[in-house]
Amino acid sequence: MSDIASDVIAIVTKKKRVDKPTVELSDRLEALGLESLDAVEMIFDLEEKFDIEIPFNANTNNPRTEFDTVGDVVNAIEKLVAKKKS
Amino acid sequence: MIGVRRVVVTGLGAITPLGNTVATYWDGLKGGVSGLGPITLSATPEQLTQKVVAEIKDYDPLKHFEERELATLDRVSQIAVIAAREAIANSRLSFDMTLSVRTACIIGCGVGGMMTLDETYRRVYLEHKKRVFPLSIPRLMVNAPASQISMHCGIRGPTYVIASACASATHAIGTAFHMVRSGAVDCAVTGGSEACLTFGTIRGWEAMRVMAPEVCRPFSIGREGMMIGEGAAVLVLEPLERAQARGAEILGEIVGFGMSADAGDLTAPDVGGMSRAIEGALIDAGLKPQDIQYINAHGTGTTANDETETKALHQVFGEHAQKLAVSSTKSMVGHALGAAGALEMVATMMAISHGIAPPTIGYQGPDPACDLDYVPNKARAMTIEAAMSNSFAFGGLNAVLAAKKFS
């Protein structure tokens, strides 16, 4: 597992609201019980951790569809981190 | 003295992103003008993601205050005093000692003197200065707008600020209305003020992820969120008998006030809480749902508020909901937060007295979840016998006022 993936899992684990011992890349955010404010907080944590800006507007973006699974979040972060380095 | 009296509005004042007097504000509202524009008040606006807010324009404090006075006045208090002076002049009241001690000054404000706080923090944390401005504390205290109106206008009765975020001014006006109605006071100068468009505040709202990038289009398909703004508005309230005895011009009557709390989510709106506040205002007013023609909606432009407010209106008004004209003046002046309810109550009183429903601008077409008549893009001439103004705040705090044409 990449460093980014384990960092994302650590952040999602803090926000999840269901009693599940481990978070997997295939887990759906909705199934982990993330509510809208949790998503906003998670995005803040991810931006802080990776020093990136994630374009996200709660009115027009739905984190549960755009980031369906934890793996989707990891892919998005990897792209933004790569863009920042280039 | 104590009883139930009719409460009329005899003075209005406003300083808003559309105009710095009630007349210019109303011209903008009925003309469907946008008061949004580039950020100029914040330090280093180029570092902000948000590029557009709703600021007051063409404002020179020295045209209203002496330099010495300004040392004691944060922008939030300056504009509160300016709106109060206009409302009091409009009412033609003069506060002799007899009236002064019987007059309340109840003002809504969400966060107080943020300009002073921002400047002070920049000074100590960024510039590492050892000292701050000597009057920083009394400038930034959240009660300052009410205190400064009291001092500048000579009001000596019950005076305080109510802070309930975006419902502050509606809670303030409703409380003042009840005080006048009960006979606790013989006059009230009431409304709201907010001036918090600082770098830190805008960053805070950016982090909420609820702001539209450029255009605020409440209830519309394709809406992208709210737009923060600033402003102050003040109403003078009097018992009907007193206003008639002195031959005052009566601009309308406030008839009901309802309040509720969601006791649920911190930020997500709640149909039940909204409905209870709207119903409460109707009951307090002795009005039936079908008596209302116009609603000045909370209408922030966020997906969640506009859908939920629409559901609440359906719940309270039933079939009559489809006959209501519902508009969000926030589409033009942005969301002035703790002052919003006052700006909107002034708009509502003007709508009633002029028989014109101001529009919801930026409206592109119906969202299936928002299926009422939102007075899209153009003001509408219509008879308004009774109207309501809704305010719903973060923290789940709801406040609604009902007003009638005076007859």
Cβ neighbour number for residue B2 with a 10 Å cutoff = 7
Which pLDDT tens digit goes with each residue over B109-163? 999 999 999 999 999 999 999 999 999 999 999 999 999 999 999 999 999 999 9
**Do the beta carbons of residue B112 and residue B142 sit within 8 Å?**
yes
- As a whole number of angstroms, the distance between CA B337 and CA B90 comes to 25
Average pLDDT, stretch B271-283?
A: 98
β strands within B273-366, DSSP E: 294-296, 325-327, 356-357
Q: Which domains does chain A have, with CATH numbers?
A: 3-85 (1.10.1200.10)
Average pLDDT, stretch B298-311?
A: 97
Contact flag A60-B225 (C-beta cutoff 8 Å): yes
Work out the minimum CA distance from B109 to partner chain A, whole angstroms.
25
* Coil/strand/helix, residue B166: strand
pLDDT of the residue at B3: 56
Cβ neighbour number for residue B67 with a 10 Å cutoff = 8
Which pLDDT tens digit goes with each residue over A1-11? 788 999 999 99
Judge whether residue A46 has pLDDT over 80: yes
Judge whether residue B31 has pLDDT over 60: yes
Work out the minimum CA distance from A57 to partner chain B, whole angstroms.
5
Rg (CA), chain A: 12
Parallel/antiparallel/unpaired status of strands B386-393 and B231-239:
unpaired
DSSP B213-278: SS---TTBTT---B-BB-EEEEEEEEEHHHHHHTTPPP-EEEEEEEEEE--S-SSS--HHHHHHHH
Residue B166, both tokens: 């975006």
Taking the CA of residue B184 as centre, how many other CA atoms within 13 Å lie in the half-sphere pointing to its CB? 14
Set B196, B216, B335, B370: catalytic member: B335
Which of B54, B25, B19 has the alpha carbon at shortest distance from B301?
B54
pLDDT of the residue at B379: 98
Name the packing angle between helices B114-121 and B199-208 (round to 10°): 100
What pTM does this model have? Answer: 0.94
| Chain B residues whose C-beta sits inside 8 Å of any chain A C-beta | 49, 207-213, 223-225, 265-268, 301-303
Share of chain B above pLDDT 90, in %: 98
Contacts of A11 (CB under 8 A, 6+ apart): A42, A45, A46, A49
pLDDT of the residue at B1: 40
- As a whole number of angstroms, the distance between CA B297 and CA B317 comes to 14
The answer to whether residue B335 is catalytic is yes
Q: What is the mean pLDDT of chain B?
A: 97
Judge whether residue A44 has pLDDT over 50: yes
- As a whole number of angstroms, the distance between CA B374 and CA B356 comes to 13
Judge whether residue B9 has pLDDT over 50: yes
- As a whole number of angstroms, the distance between CA B380 and CA B370 comes to 19
Judge whether residue A67 has pLDDT over 90: no
Average pLDDT, stretch A50-66?
A: 78
* Coil/strand/helix, residue B397: strand
pLDDT of the residue at A59: 84
Judge whether residue B48 has pLDDT over 70: yes
Helix (H) or strand (E) holding B321: none
Which of B110, B115, B79 has the alpha carbon at shortest distance from B172?
B110
Average pLDDT, stretch A60-71?
A: 75
pLDDT of the residue at B34: 98
Judge whether residue A62 has pLDDT over 70: no
Parallel/antiparallel/unpaired status of strands B294-296 and B386-393:
parallel
Rg (CA), chain B: 20
The residues that bridge with B325 in the sheet, in sequence order, are B294, B373
**Do the beta carbons of residue B58 and residue B122 sit within 8 Å?**
no
CA dihedral (B201, B134, B16, B376) in degrees, to 10, reads 10
Set B105, B109, B298, B370: catalytic member: B298
Q: Which of A43, A44, A58 sits opposite B210 (nearest CB)?
A: A58
Burial environment of residue B96 by CB neighbours within 10 A (0 to 12, 13 to 18, 19 or more): exposed
In this prediction, residue A38 has a pLDDT band, given cuts at 50, 70 and 90, of confident
Per mean pLDDT, which of A43-57, A68-82, B387-401 is the most reliable? B387-401
Average pLDDT, stretch B182-210?
A: 97
Average pLDDT, stretch A25-36?
A: 88
Cβ neighbour number for residue B124 with a 10 Å cutoff = 14
Which pLDDT tens digit goes with each residue over B217-252? 999 999 999 999 999 999 999 999 999 999 999 999
Judge whether residue A65 has pLDDT over 80: no
Set B153, B166, B196, B216: catalytic member: B166
Contact flag B211-A57 (C-beta cutoff 8 Å): yes
Residue B128, both tokens: 């590492």
pLDDT of the residue at B13: 98
Q: How far is CA B239 from the centre of its chain?
A: 22
pLDDT of the residue at A37: 82
Q: What is the mean pLDDT of chain A?
A: 87
In this prediction, residue B401 has a pLDDT band, given cuts at 50, 70 and 90, of very high
pLDDT of the residue at A63: 60
Taking contacts as CB-CB distances below 8 angstroms, the residues of chain A near B207 are 40, 44
Q: Which domains does chain B have, with CATH numbers?
A: 7-245 (3.40.47.10), 256-404 (3.40.47.10)
For B317-350, give one letter per residue: b (16+ CB within 10 A) or e.
Answer: beebbeebbbbbbbbbbbbbbbbbbbbbbbbbbb
β strands within B338-385, DSSP E: 356-357, 380-381
In this prediction, residue B2 has a pLDDT band, given cuts at 50, 70 and 90, of very low
Q: Which of residues 10-49 of A touch B (CB under 8 A)?
A: 36-37, 40, 43-44
**Do the beta carbons of residue B230 and residue B220 sit within 8 Å?**
no
- As a whole number of angstroms, the distance between CA B99 and CA B101 comes to 6
